[in-house]
Amino acid sequence: MNHRMVRMAWVVVVLAVAVLALTASTQAQDAGALFQAKCSTCHAADGSGSTQMGKTLGVPDLRSDDVQKKKDGQLIDAITNGVGKKMPAYKGKLTDPQIKDLVGYVRGLAKKT
């Protein structure tokens, strides 16, 4: 009976790890899709800001040290409340978790360069 309990505990641990891994992967995919839908028109798919609209508006390269050194709260604020007249506010259009996921996605852009 003790051996059976140990085996059951291992099954539960393995399943928990699998669920966590799938959840993290799904969140990353969702953030990527959200970035493509809401941000890439200006910021480009790679975050460089190299689109025609991005160049016209003078958007920053999200992969740059200037952007990456900002605190998460600063990036959350920029996405939530917008930036000047150039970047729209997403407050009420995106949920707080979606905005936090976008910040995580922006952080990941720097690692891809």
Give the CATH number for residue 40: 1.10.760.10
Evaluated on CA atoms 71, 77, 83, 89, the torsion sign reads: positive
- The three-state secondary structure class of 62 is coil
Dihedral-angle region of residue 49 (phi above 0 means left; psi in -120 to 50 means alpha; beta otherwise)? left
Angle value at C-alpha 71, between 68 and 74, nearest 5 degrees? 105
Per-residue model confidence (pLDDT) at position 2: 73
107 within domain boundaries: yes
DSSP 1: -
Per-residue model confidence (pLDDT) at position 27: 47
Task: Answer yes or no: pTM beyond 0.95.
Answer: no
Q: Which structural domain range is residue 87 located in?
A: 27-111
88 within domain boundaries: yes
Per-residue model confidence (pLDDT) at position 19: 44
105 within domain boundaries: yes
**Placement of tokens 């899709």 in the chain:** 33
76 within domain boundaries: yes
79 within domain boundaries: yes
- Count of the separate structural domains present in the chain: 1
17 within domain boundaries: no
Q: Mean pLDDT of residues grouped by 10 in the chain (113 residues)?
A: 63 50 50 96 96 96 97 98 94 96 96 71
